[in-house]
Protein backbone atom coordinates (compact mmCIF):
# COMPACT_ATOMS: atom_id res chain seq x y z
CA UNK A 1 0.00 0.00 0.00
CA UNK A 2 1.28 3.47 -0.90
CA UNK A 3 2.47 5.49 2.05
CA UNK A 4 2.73 9.25 1.67
CA UNK A 5 5.80 11.21 2.71
CA UNK A 6 3.49 13.82 4.24
CA UNK A 7 2.85 13.05 7.87
CA UNK A 8 -0.52 14.83 7.86
CA UNK A 9 -1.72 12.69 4.98
CA UNK A 10 -0.57 9.57 6.82
CA UNK A 11 -2.53 10.58 9.92
CA UNK A 12 -5.69 10.97 7.83
CA UNK A 13 -4.95 7.62 6.21
CA UNK A 14 -4.69 6.03 9.64
CA UNK A 15 -8.13 7.36 10.55
CA UNK A 16 -9.94 5.85 7.57
CA UNK A 17 -8.13 2.52 7.30
CA UNK A 18 -7.70 -0.41 9.63
CA UNK A 19 -4.46 -2.44 9.60
CA UNK A 20 -4.52 -6.20 9.23
CA UNK A 21 -4.77 -8.18 12.47
CA UNK A 22 -1.45 -8.37 14.28
CA UNK A 23 0.16 -5.55 12.27
CA UNK A 24 -0.96 -2.47 14.21
CA UNK A 25 2.45 -1.95 15.85
CA UNK A 26 4.21 -2.30 12.49
CA UNK A 27 1.91 0.33 10.96
CA UNK A 28 2.51 2.67 13.89
CA UNK A 29 6.28 2.32 13.56
CA UNK A 30 6.07 3.43 9.91
CA UNK A 31 5.49 6.98 11.15
CA UNK A 32 9.19 7.05 11.98
CA UNK A 33 9.82 7.33 8.25
CA UNK A 34 8.48 10.88 8.55
CA UNK A 35 9.81 11.72 12.01
CA UNK A 36 13.60 11.56 11.80
CA UNK A 37 16.53 13.22 13.67
CA UNK A 38 17.54 15.28 10.65
CA UNK A 39 18.89 18.34 12.51
CA UNK A 40 22.38 18.29 14.06
CA UNK A 41 24.09 20.47 16.64
CA UNK A 42 27.82 19.96 16.20
CA UNK A 43 30.30 20.01 19.08
CA UNK A 44 27.64 20.85 21.63
CA UNK A 45 28.62 22.40 24.95
CA UNK A 46 28.30 19.60 27.48
CA UNK A 47 29.96 18.31 30.64
CA UNK A 48 33.13 16.30 30.16
CA UNK A 49 31.55 12.93 30.89
CA UNK A 50 31.61 9.39 29.56
CA UNK A 51 28.13 8.79 28.15
CA UNK A 52 26.99 5.15 28.33
CA UNK A 53 23.47 4.69 26.97
CA UNK A 54 19.77 5.41 27.37
CA UNK A 55 17.76 2.99 29.45
CA UNK A 56 15.50 0.69 27.45
CA UNK A 57 12.40 2.71 28.35
CA UNK A 58 14.12 5.97 27.40
CA UNK A 59 13.61 7.61 30.79
CA UNK A 60 17.26 8.01 31.78
CA UNK A 61 20.62 8.77 30.16
CA UNK A 62 23.44 7.02 32.00
CA UNK A 63 26.86 8.69 32.17
CA UNK A 64 30.01 8.52 34.28
CA UNK A 65 32.56 11.08 35.34
CA UNK A 66 35.93 11.11 33.56
CA UNK A 67 37.58 9.95 36.78
CA UNK A 68 35.23 6.93 36.74
CA UNK A 69 34.22 7.61 40.33
CA UNK A 70 30.73 9.12 40.00
CA UNK A 71 27.49 8.13 38.29
CA UNK A 72 25.57 11.01 36.68
CA UNK A 73 22.01 10.37 35.49
CA UNK A 74 20.06 12.70 33.18
CA UNK A 75 16.42 12.90 32.18
CA UNK A 76 15.86 13.48 28.43
CA UNK A 77 13.77 16.58 27.74
CA UNK A 78 12.70 18.09 24.48
CA UNK A 79 14.14 21.28 23.08
CA UNK A 80 11.86 24.33 23.45
CA UNK A 81 12.59 27.92 22.45
CA UNK A 82 10.71 30.99 21.28
CA UNK A 83 11.02 32.63 17.89
CA UNK A 84 9.81 36.17 17.12
CA UNK A 85 10.16 35.91 13.34
CA UNK A 86 7.60 34.48 10.93
CA UNK A 87 9.55 31.60 9.36
CA UNK A 88 11.10 29.90 12.39
CA UNK A 89 12.08 26.73 10.53
CA UNK A 90 14.68 28.51 8.43
CA UNK A 91 16.18 30.43 11.34
CA UNK A 92 19.21 29.24 13.24
CA UNK A 93 18.74 27.96 16.77
CA UNK A 94 19.39 30.41 19.63
CA UNK A 95 22.68 30.00 21.48
CA UNK A 96 20.92 28.83 24.62
CA UNK A 97 19.17 26.07 22.66
CA UNK A 98 22.48 24.68 21.44
CA UNK A 99 23.58 23.62 24.90
CA UNK A 100 23.43 20.15 26.40
CA UNK A 101 21.15 21.38 29.20
CA UNK A 102 18.45 22.20 26.63
CA UNK A 103 18.00 18.50 25.88
CA UNK A 104 18.87 16.86 29.21
CA UNK A 105 18.19 17.66 32.86
CA UNK A 106 20.56 16.28 35.48
CA UNK A 107 18.72 14.30 38.14
CA UNK A 108 21.59 13.48 40.49
CA UNK A 109 25.24 12.55 40.82
CA UNK A 110 26.15 9.56 42.99
CA UNK A 111 29.68 8.53 44.03
CA UNK A 112 29.88 4.76 43.40
CA UNK A 113 33.56 3.90 43.50
CA UNK A 114 35.86 4.07 46.49
CA UNK A 115 39.37 5.53 46.34
CA UNK A 116 40.92 2.26 45.12
CA UNK A 117 38.07 1.34 42.75
CA UNK A 118 36.85 2.71 39.44
CA UNK A 119 33.51 2.35 37.68
CA UNK A 120 33.47 -0.06 34.76
CA UNK A 121 32.26 2.33 32.08
CA UNK A 122 31.25 -0.46 29.69
CA UNK A 123 29.01 -2.21 32.21
CA UNK A 124 25.38 -1.30 32.88
CA UNK A 125 22.24 -3.43 33.06
CA UNK A 126 18.71 -2.13 33.46
CA UNK A 127 15.83 -3.92 35.19
CA UNK A 128 12.92 -2.06 33.64
CA UNK A 129 10.18 -3.55 35.81
CA UNK A 130 11.45 -1.80 38.93
CA UNK A 131 13.66 0.78 37.19
CA UNK A 132 16.74 -0.61 38.92
CA UNK A 133 20.23 -0.23 37.48
CA UNK A 134 23.10 -2.66 38.02
CA UNK A 135 26.57 -1.07 38.01
CA UNK A 136 30.04 -2.44 38.70
CA UNK A 137 33.21 -1.06 40.25
CA UNK A 138 36.56 -2.83 40.55
CA UNK A 139 40.17 -2.42 41.56
CA UNK A 140 43.13 -2.87 39.24
CA UNK A 141 43.68 -6.21 37.52
CA UNK A 142 46.57 -8.44 38.62
CA UNK A 143 47.82 -10.43 35.62
CA UNK A 144 50.35 -12.72 37.30
CA UNK A 145 48.25 -13.66 40.31
CA UNK A 146 49.04 -17.10 41.79
CA UNK A 147 46.39 -19.79 41.38
CA UNK A 148 45.61 -20.36 45.07
CA UNK A 149 42.48 -21.66 46.73
CA UNK A 150 41.23 -23.62 43.74
CA UNK A 151 41.64 -20.79 41.20
CA UNK A 152 42.29 -21.51 37.52
CA UNK A 153 45.93 -21.12 36.52
CA UNK A 154 46.45 -18.37 33.95
CA UNK A 155 43.33 -16.35 34.81
CA UNK A 156 44.04 -12.85 36.20
CA UNK A 157 42.74 -11.69 39.55
CA UNK A 158 40.94 -8.56 40.70
CA UNK A 159 41.18 -7.83 44.40
CA UNK A 160 37.67 -6.44 44.71
CA UNK A 161 34.67 -6.36 42.34
CA UNK A 162 31.50 -4.71 43.61
CA UNK A 163 28.07 -4.85 41.96
CA UNK A 164 25.76 -2.00 42.94
CA UNK A 165 21.97 -2.21 42.67
CA UNK A 166 20.68 1.34 42.37
CA UNK A 167 17.19 2.78 42.09
CA UNK A 168 17.40 5.13 39.12
CA UNK A 169 14.42 7.21 40.19
CA UNK A 170 16.32 8.86 43.04
CA UNK A 171 19.86 7.39 42.90
CA UNK A 172 19.63 5.37 46.13
CA UNK A 173 21.99 2.40 46.34
CA UNK A 174 19.76 -0.46 47.50
CA UNK A 175 22.21 -3.35 47.76
CA UNK A 176 25.76 -4.40 46.92
CA UNK A 177 27.51 -7.69 46.21
CA UNK A 178 31.29 -8.00 46.60
CA UNK A 179 33.57 -10.56 44.92
CA UNK A 180 37.13 -10.71 46.25
CA UNK A 181 40.25 -12.01 44.52
CA UNK A 182 38.15 -13.08 41.55
CA UNK A 183 37.93 -12.30 37.85
CA UNK A 184 34.65 -11.38 36.13
CA UNK A 185 34.67 -10.07 32.57
CA UNK A 186 32.84 -6.74 32.87
CA UNK A 187 33.66 -5.39 29.40
CA UNK A 188 30.39 -4.96 27.47
CA UNK A 189 28.70 -6.93 30.29
CA UNK A 190 30.22 -10.16 28.92
CA UNK A 191 30.42 -11.88 32.30
CA UNK A 192 26.96 -10.92 33.55
CA UNK A 193 23.49 -11.61 32.14
CA UNK A 194 20.15 -10.23 33.33
CA UNK A 195 16.87 -12.01 32.54
CA UNK A 196 13.75 -10.52 34.12
CA UNK A 197 14.67 -10.60 37.86
CA UNK A 198 17.48 -13.19 37.54
CA UNK A 199 21.13 -12.19 37.39
CA UNK A 200 23.86 -14.63 36.28
CA UNK A 201 27.46 -13.73 37.16
CA UNK A 202 30.32 -15.83 35.76
CA UNK A 203 33.43 -16.20 37.91
CA UNK A 204 36.18 -17.05 35.43
CA UNK A 205 38.80 -17.50 38.12
CA UNK A 206 36.83 -19.97 40.24
CA UNK A 207 34.56 -21.35 37.47
CA UNK A 208 31.24 -20.64 39.09
CA UNK A 209 27.96 -19.30 37.78
CA UNK A 210 26.31 -17.30 40.55
CA UNK A 211 22.53 -17.00 40.10
CA UNK A 212 21.05 -14.05 42.00
CA UNK A 213 17.53 -12.70 42.19
CA UNK A 214 16.66 -9.00 42.26
CA UNK A 215 13.73 -8.66 44.67
CA UNK A 216 11.14 -5.91 44.40
CA UNK A 217 12.41 -4.60 47.73
CA UNK A 218 15.78 -3.88 46.11
CA UNK A 219 17.84 -6.69 47.58
CA UNK A 220 20.14 -9.18 45.85
CA UNK A 221 19.41 -12.73 46.99
CA UNK A 222 21.58 -15.77 46.23
CA UNK A 223 19.60 -18.55 44.56
CA UNK A 224 22.27 -21.06 43.58
CA UNK A 225 25.89 -21.45 42.53
CA UNK A 226 26.67 -23.71 39.55
CA UNK A 227 30.16 -25.05 39.02
CA UNK A 228 31.85 -27.04 41.74
CA UNK A 229 28.38 -28.12 42.90
CA UNK A 230 25.17 -28.29 40.90
CA UNK A 231 22.58 -29.14 43.55
CA UNK A 232 22.13 -27.41 46.88
CA UNK A 233 22.90 -30.59 48.86
CA UNK A 234 25.98 -31.69 46.87
CA UNK A 235 28.31 -30.04 49.35
CA UNK A 236 26.50 -31.61 52.31
CA UNK A 237 26.71 -35.05 50.70
CA UNK A 238 30.45 -34.79 50.03
CA UNK A 239 31.16 -33.51 53.54
CA UNK A 240 29.14 -36.29 55.15
CA UNK A 241 30.85 -38.91 52.96
CA UNK A 242 34.30 -37.62 53.84
CA UNK A 243 33.46 -37.66 57.55
CA UNK A 244 32.17 -41.23 57.30
CA UNK A 245 35.39 -42.32 55.60
CA UNK A 246 37.49 -40.54 58.21
CA UNK A 247 39.08 -38.26 55.60
CA UNK A 248 39.46 -34.51 55.67
CA UNK A 249 36.31 -32.50 55.38
CA UNK A 250 35.57 -31.12 51.93
CA UNK A 251 35.74 -27.35 52.17
CA UNK A 252 34.66 -25.37 49.09
CA UNK A 253 35.80 -21.88 48.37
CA UNK A 254 33.19 -19.17 48.52
CA UNK A 255 34.62 -16.00 47.10
CA UNK A 256 31.42 -14.00 47.51
CA UNK A 257 32.02 -12.19 50.77
CA UNK A 258 31.12 -9.05 52.63
CA UNK A 259 34.63 -8.57 54.00
CA UNK A 260 37.06 -7.66 51.18
CA UNK A 261 40.03 -8.51 53.39
CA UNK A 262 38.93 -12.13 53.91
CA UNK A 263 41.46 -14.51 52.41
CA UNK A 264 40.52 -17.59 50.42
CA UNK A 265 40.98 -20.93 52.19
CA UNK A 266 43.27 -23.40 50.52
CA UNK A 267 41.76 -26.52 49.03
CA UNK A 268 43.07 -29.70 47.51
CA UNK A 269 40.34 -31.26 45.41
CA UNK A 270 40.96 -34.28 43.23
CA UNK A 271 37.39 -34.36 41.90
CA UNK A 272 36.20 -32.73 38.72
CA UNK A 273 33.59 -30.03 39.25
CA UNK A 274 29.93 -30.98 39.13
CA UNK A 275 29.26 -29.11 35.89
CA UNK A 276 32.32 -30.75 34.27
CA UNK A 277 31.22 -34.23 35.30
CA UNK A 278 27.77 -33.68 33.85
CA UNK A 279 29.31 -32.43 30.62
CA UNK A 280 31.59 -35.47 30.28
CA UNK A 281 28.78 -37.91 31.06
CA UNK A 282 26.55 -36.28 28.44
CA UNK A 283 29.30 -36.60 25.82
CA UNK A 284 29.81 -40.28 26.70
CA UNK A 285 26.10 -41.09 26.53
CA UNK A 286 25.81 -39.30 23.20
CA UNK A 287 28.64 -41.33 21.68
CA UNK A 288 27.23 -44.57 23.09
CA UNK A 289 23.79 -43.89 21.63
CA UNK A 290 25.26 -43.35 18.18
CA UNK A 291 26.39 -46.96 17.88
CA UNK A 292 24.33 -50.08 18.61
CA UNK A 293 27.15 -52.61 18.19
CA UNK A 294 29.41 -53.00 21.23
CA UNK A 295 32.68 -53.12 19.28
CA UNK A 296 31.80 -50.05 17.21
CA UNK A 297 30.71 -48.26 20.37
CA UNK A 298 34.07 -48.90 22.03
CA UNK A 299 35.94 -47.69 18.96
CA UNK A 300 33.87 -44.50 18.87
CA UNK A 301 34.55 -43.88 22.55
CA UNK A 302 38.29 -44.27 22.01
CA UNK A 303 38.30 -41.98 18.99
CA UNK A 304 35.82 -39.31 20.05
CA UNK A 305 36.07 -39.29 23.85
CA UNK A 306 39.16 -40.89 25.37
CA UNK A 307 41.48 -39.37 22.79
CA UNK A 308 40.10 -35.88 23.60
CA UNK A 309 39.45 -36.53 27.29
CA UNK A 310 42.09 -34.13 28.58
CA UNK A 311 40.90 -31.43 26.17
CA UNK A 312 37.39 -31.73 27.59
CA UNK A 313 38.72 -31.66 31.15
CA UNK A 314 40.72 -28.49 30.44
CA UNK A 315 37.65 -26.60 29.16
CA UNK A 316 36.50 -23.67 31.27
CA UNK A 317 33.32 -21.58 31.26
CA UNK A 318 33.66 -18.43 29.16
CA UNK A 319 30.20 -16.89 28.96
CA UNK A 320 26.65 -17.63 30.01
CA UNK A 321 23.23 -16.39 29.00
CA UNK A 322 19.68 -17.24 30.02
CA UNK A 323 17.48 -18.90 27.41
CA UNK A 324 14.58 -18.84 29.87
CA UNK A 325 14.19 -19.02 33.65
CA UNK A 326 15.37 -22.63 33.76
CA UNK A 327 17.91 -23.02 30.96
CA UNK A 328 21.38 -21.56 30.43
CA UNK A 329 23.47 -21.43 27.27
CA UNK A 330 27.07 -21.94 28.42
CA UNK A 331 30.14 -21.36 26.26
CA UNK A 332 33.23 -23.43 27.04
CA UNK A 333 36.77 -22.87 25.79
CA UNK A 334 40.42 -22.81 26.72
CA UNK A 335 41.99 -20.68 29.44
CA UNK A 336 44.18 -18.81 26.95
CA UNK A 337 41.21 -17.72 24.87
CA UNK A 338 39.16 -16.66 27.89
CA UNK A 339 41.64 -13.93 28.84
CA UNK A 340 42.68 -12.92 25.30
CA UNK A 341 41.29 -9.91 23.48
CA UNK A 342 40.17 -11.94 20.47
CA UNK A 343 38.66 -15.27 21.46
CA UNK A 344 36.86 -15.77 18.13
CA UNK A 345 39.84 -17.61 16.62
CA UNK A 346 39.97 -20.20 19.39
CA UNK A 347 37.87 -23.39 19.41
CA UNK A 348 34.86 -23.36 21.68
CA UNK A 349 31.83 -25.44 22.60
CA UNK A 350 28.24 -24.68 23.59
CA UNK A 351 26.11 -26.48 26.15
CA UNK A 352 22.48 -26.05 27.18
CA UNK A 353 22.12 -26.59 30.93
CA UNK A 354 18.89 -27.16 32.87
CA UNK A 355 19.25 -25.54 36.29
CA UNK A 356 16.34 -27.46 37.82
CA UNK A 357 17.37 -30.97 36.78
CA UNK A 358 21.10 -30.03 36.76
CA UNK A 359 21.50 -31.83 33.42
CA UNK A 360 23.27 -30.96 30.21
CA UNK A 361 20.58 -31.39 27.56
CA UNK A 362 22.55 -30.34 24.45
CA UNK A 363 26.19 -29.98 23.44
CA UNK A 364 27.49 -28.40 20.22
CA UNK A 365 30.84 -27.71 18.65
CA UNK A 366 31.63 -24.26 17.30
CA UNK A 367 31.09 -25.49 13.71
CA UNK A 368 27.81 -27.31 14.42
CA UNK A 369 25.36 -27.22 11.49
CA UNK A 370 22.50 -28.00 13.85
CA UNK A 371 23.22 -25.04 16.12
CA UNK A 372 23.63 -22.74 13.13
CA UNK A 373 20.19 -23.72 11.76
CA UNK A 374 18.67 -23.02 15.17
CA UNK A 375 20.42 -19.67 15.25
CA UNK A 376 19.28 -18.76 11.73
CA UNK A 377 15.64 -19.68 12.29
CA UNK A 378 15.21 -18.68 15.94
CA UNK A 379 17.71 -15.89 16.49
CA UNK A 380 15.26 -13.88 18.61
CA UNK A 381 15.25 -16.62 21.26
CA UNK A 382 18.97 -16.08 21.77
CA UNK A 383 18.34 -12.35 22.34
CA UNK A 384 15.73 -13.18 25.04
CA UNK A 385 13.00 -10.65 24.10
CA UNK A 386 11.60 -8.45 26.83
CA UNK A 387 8.15 -9.13 28.25
CA UNK A 388 7.66 -5.64 29.67
CA UNK A 389 8.62 -3.53 26.62
CA UNK A 390 6.83 -4.37 23.40
CA UNK A 391 9.16 -2.29 21.24
CA UNK A 392 12.15 -4.34 22.43
CA UNK A 393 10.75 -7.24 20.39
CA UNK A 394 11.17 -5.32 17.13
CA UNK A 395 14.96 -5.33 17.03
CA UNK A 396 15.84 -6.50 13.51
CA UNK A 397 17.30 -9.98 13.16
CA UNK A 398 17.41 -12.54 10.37
CA UNK A 399 14.62 -14.51 12.03
CA UNK A 400 12.12 -11.64 12.00
CA UNK A 401 13.31 -9.42 9.15
CA UNK A 402 13.52 -10.46 5.51
CA UNK A 403 16.23 -7.90 4.73
CA UNK A 404 18.48 -9.11 7.54
CA UNK A 405 17.91 -12.72 6.43
CA UNK A 406 18.79 -11.81 2.86
CA UNK A 407 22.01 -10.17 4.02
CA UNK A 408 22.95 -13.25 6.07
CA UNK A 409 22.35 -15.55 3.11
CA UNK A 410 24.39 -13.29 0.84
CA UNK A 411 27.29 -13.47 3.27
CA UNK A 412 26.88 -17.25 3.38
CA UNK A 413 26.96 -17.54 -0.40
CA UNK A 414 30.11 -15.40 -0.59
CA UNK A 415 31.95 -17.41 2.07
CA UNK A 416 34.76 -19.59 0.74
CA UNK A 417 34.20 -22.20 3.46
CA UNK A 418 30.82 -22.98 5.00
CA UNK A 419 32.47 -24.35 8.14
CA UNK A 420 34.46 -21.14 8.65
CA UNK A 421 31.30 -19.11 8.04
CA UNK A 422 29.45 -21.04 10.75
CA UNK A 423 32.32 -20.50 13.20
CA UNK A 424 32.32 -16.78 12.48
CA UNK A 425 28.56 -16.47 12.96
CA UNK A 426 28.37 -18.62 16.11
CA UNK A 427 31.34 -16.80 17.66
CA UNK A 428 28.90 -14.09 18.79
CA UNK A 429 27.04 -16.58 21.01
CA UNK A 430 26.08 -16.18 23.77
CA UNK A 431 24.98 -12.61 23.10
CA UNK A 432 26.00 -9.87 25.51
CA UNK A 433 23.09 -8.81 27.65
CA UNK A 434 21.19 -5.70 26.49
CA UNK A 435 23.66 -5.15 23.66
CA UNK A 436 21.06 -4.19 21.03
CA UNK A 437 19.56 -0.71 20.66
CA UNK A 438 15.76 -0.84 20.12
CA UNK A 439 15.64 2.47 18.21
CA UNK A 440 13.23 2.29 15.23
CA UNK A 441 15.88 3.95 13.05
CA UNK A 442 17.78 0.64 13.15
CA UNK A 443 14.69 -1.23 11.94
CA UNK A 444 15.80 -2.68 8.62
CA UNK A 445 12.19 -2.80 7.41
CA UNK A 446 12.13 1.00 7.55
CA UNK A 447 15.66 2.20 6.80
CA UNK A 448 18.77 1.02 4.99
CA UNK A 449 22.23 2.01 6.25
CA UNK A 450 25.83 0.83 6.18
CA UNK A 451 26.17 -1.67 9.04
CA UNK A 452 29.95 -1.38 8.88
CA UNK A 453 29.61 2.21 10.11
CA UNK A 454 26.59 1.98 12.40
CA UNK A 455 24.16 -0.65 13.69
CA UNK A 456 21.98 -1.57 16.63
CA UNK A 457 24.94 -3.33 18.28
CA UNK A 458 26.30 -1.42 21.27
CA UNK A 459 29.99 -1.03 20.48
CA UNK A 460 32.56 1.57 19.39
CA UNK A 461 33.40 1.95 15.71
CA UNK A 462 36.09 3.53 13.60
CA UNK A 463 35.21 7.14 12.81
CA UNK A 464 34.64 8.32 9.29
CA UNK A 465 34.67 11.82 7.85
CA UNK A 466 31.69 11.01 5.65
CA UNK A 467 28.14 11.28 7.02
CA UNK A 468 26.25 8.05 7.62
CA UNK A 469 23.14 7.93 5.43
CA UNK A 470 19.76 6.49 6.40
CA UNK A 471 17.72 5.67 3.26
CA UNK A 472 14.10 4.57 3.05
CA UNK A 473 13.50 0.92 2.30
CA UNK A 474 10.33 1.58 0.34
CA UNK A 475 10.25 3.42 -3.00
CA UNK A 476 11.41 5.96 -3.94
CA UNK A 477 14.33 5.03 -1.59
CA UNK A 478 15.00 8.65 -0.68
CA UNK A 479 17.62 9.86 1.77
CA UNK A 480 15.81 10.71 5.02
CA UNK A 481 18.65 11.92 7.29
CA UNK A 482 22.38 11.79 7.94
CA UNK A 483 24.49 11.23 11.05
CA UNK A 484 27.78 13.17 11.01
CA UNK A 485 30.29 12.56 13.79
CA UNK A 486 32.95 14.99 14.98
CA UNK A 487 33.21 18.73 14.33
CA UNK A 488 31.18 20.24 11.52
CA UNK A 489 34.31 21.26 9.60
CA UNK A 490 35.86 17.81 9.99
CA UNK A 491 39.19 16.73 11.51
CA UNK A 492 42.37 18.41 10.31
CA UNK A 493 44.77 15.86 11.82
CA UNK A 494 44.12 12.66 9.86
CA UNK A 495 46.89 10.78 11.68
CA UNK A 496 44.98 10.63 14.96
CA UNK A 497 42.93 7.48 15.37
CA UNK A 498 39.35 8.31 16.26
CA UNK A 499 36.51 6.11 17.44
CA UNK A 500 32.82 6.91 17.56
CA UNK A 501 29.87 5.66 19.56
CA UNK A 502 26.20 6.28 18.82
CA UNK A 503 23.57 6.58 21.55
CA UNK A 504 20.05 6.50 20.11
CA UNK A 505 16.97 7.11 22.18
CA UNK A 506 14.75 4.01 22.01
CA UNK A 507 11.59 5.99 21.21
CA UNK A 508 12.23 9.66 20.41
CA UNK A 509 13.95 11.02 17.29
CA UNK A 510 17.01 11.88 19.37
CA UNK A 511 20.57 10.60 19.21
CA UNK A 512 24.06 11.42 20.47
CA UNK A 513 27.20 10.77 18.46
CA UNK A 514 30.39 10.83 20.52
CA UNK A 515 33.77 10.99 18.80
CA UNK A 516 36.93 10.60 20.84
CA UNK A 517 40.60 9.85 20.41
CA UNK A 518 42.70 7.29 22.23
CA UNK A 519 44.24 10.09 24.28
CA UNK A 520 42.68 11.96 27.19
CA UNK A 521 41.18 14.70 25.04
CA UNK A 522 37.59 15.88 25.52
CA UNK A 523 35.12 14.05 23.31
CA UNK A 524 33.23 15.79 20.51
CA UNK A 525 29.51 15.33 21.16
CA UNK A 526 26.89 15.98 18.48
CA UNK A 527 23.15 16.00 19.15
CA UNK A 528 20.86 14.79 16.37
CA UNK A 529 17.16 15.57 16.77
CA UNK A 530 13.99 16.46 14.90
CA UNK A 531 13.42 20.17 14.84
State residue 372's pLDDT score.
94
Q: Report how far residue 55's alpha carbon sits from residue 53's, in angstroms, rounded to the nearest whole number.
A: 6
Q: Report how far residue 50's alpha carbon sits from residue 62's, in angstroms, rounded to the nearest whole number.
A: 9
Helix then strand count (H, E) for the chain reads: 11, 26
Quick check: helix, strand or coil at residue 198? strand
418-426 vs 369-377: helix crossing angle, rounded to 10: 60
Cβ contact 332:415 at 8 Å: no
State residue 314's pLDDT score.
92
Q: Report how far residue 346's alpha carbon sits from residue 334's, in angstroms, rounded to the nearest whole number.
A: 8
Instruction: List 198's β-bridge partners, or say none.
Output: 195, 213
Q: Report how far residue 445's alpha carbon sits from residue 477's, in angstroms, rounded to the nearest whole number.
A: 12
Q: Sign (positive/negative) of CA torsion 322, 324, 325, 327?
A: negative
- What is the number of residues in the chain? 531
Q: What is the pLDDT of residues 463-477, one digit of tens each?
A: 888 899 999 998 888
State residue 16's pLDDT score.
87
Q: What is the pLDDT of residues 241-264, one digit of tens each?
A: 766 666 554 444 445 555 544 444
State residue 235's pLDDT score.
77
In this prediction, residues 21-27 reach a mean pLDDT of 80
In this prediction, residues 152-166 reach a mean pLDDT of 94
DSSP 18-46: -PPTT-HHHHHHGGGGTS---EEETT-B-
User: Mean pLDDT for the chain?
Assistant: 87
Distance of CA 19 to the CA centre of its chain: 34
Q: Report how far residue 31's alpha carbon sits from residue 12's, in angstroms, rounded to the nearest whole number.
A: 12
Cβ contact 368:422 at 8 Å: yes
This prediction has a pTM of 0.89
Evaluate if residue 224 carries a pLDDT over 60. Answer: yes
Greatest mean pLDDT among 14-23, 24-33, 74-83, 372-381: 372-381
218: left (phi over 0), alpha (psi -120 to 50) or beta: left
195 — pLDDT class (breaks 50, 70, 90): very high
Q: Report how far residue 160's alpha carbon sits from residue 180's, in angstroms, rounded to the nearest whole number.
A: 5
Q: Which of 191-205, 301-315, 453-467, 485-499 has the lowest mean pLDDT?
A: 485-499
188: left (phi over 0), alpha (psi -120 to 50) or beta: left
In this prediction, residues 36-64 reach a mean pLDDT of 93
Q: Report how far residue 138's alpha carbon sits from residue 418's, in angstroms, rounded to the nearest whole number.
A: 41
Evaluate if residue 517 carries a pLDDT over 60. Answer: yes
Helix (H) or strand (E) holding 267: none
Q: 217: which residues sit within 8 A by CB, 6+ positions away?
A: 174
State residue 262's pLDDT score.
46
Evaluate if residue 379 carries a pLDDT over 80. Answer: yes
Q: What is the pLDDT of residues 383-415, one digit of tens each?
A: 876 665 666 778 888 888 899 999 999 999 998
Nearest to 132 by CA among 222, 213, 200, 51: 213
In this prediction, residues 136-159 reach a mean pLDDT of 89
499 or 487, which is more confident:
499
State residue 333's pLDDT score.
92
Quick check: helix, strand or coil at residue 523? coil
Q: How many CB atoms lie within 10 A of CB 483?
A: 22
Q: Report how far residue 156's alpha carbon sits from residue 137's, in angstroms, rounded to the nearest whole number.
A: 17
Q: Is the bond preceding residue 476 a cis peptide, omega within 30 degrees?
A: yes
In this prediction, residues 369-376 reach a mean pLDDT of 93
349 — pLDDT class (breaks 50, 70, 90): very high
State residue 67's pLDDT score.
92
Q: What is the pLDDT of residues 63-117, one digit of tens each?
A: 999 999 999 999 999 877 667 766 666 677 777 778 899 999 999 999 999 889 9
511: left (phi over 0), alpha (psi -120 to 50) or beta: beta
State residue 247's pLDDT score.
55
Amino acid sequence: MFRSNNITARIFQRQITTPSPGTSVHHARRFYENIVPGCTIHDVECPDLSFRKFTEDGKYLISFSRTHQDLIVYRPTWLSFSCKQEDCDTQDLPLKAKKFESFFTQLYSVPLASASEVICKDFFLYAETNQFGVFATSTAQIHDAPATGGAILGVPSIEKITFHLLRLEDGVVLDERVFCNDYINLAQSMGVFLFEDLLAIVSLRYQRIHILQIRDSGSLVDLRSIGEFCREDDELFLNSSSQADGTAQHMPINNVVNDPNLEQPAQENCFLSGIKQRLLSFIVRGIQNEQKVETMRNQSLKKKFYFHFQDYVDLIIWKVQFLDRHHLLIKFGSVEAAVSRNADNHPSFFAVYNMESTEIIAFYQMSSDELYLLYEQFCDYFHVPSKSSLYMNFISSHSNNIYALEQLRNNKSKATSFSLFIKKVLASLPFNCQSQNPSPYFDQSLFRYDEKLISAADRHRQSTDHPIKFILRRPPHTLKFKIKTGPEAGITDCRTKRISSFIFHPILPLALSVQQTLFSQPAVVNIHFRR
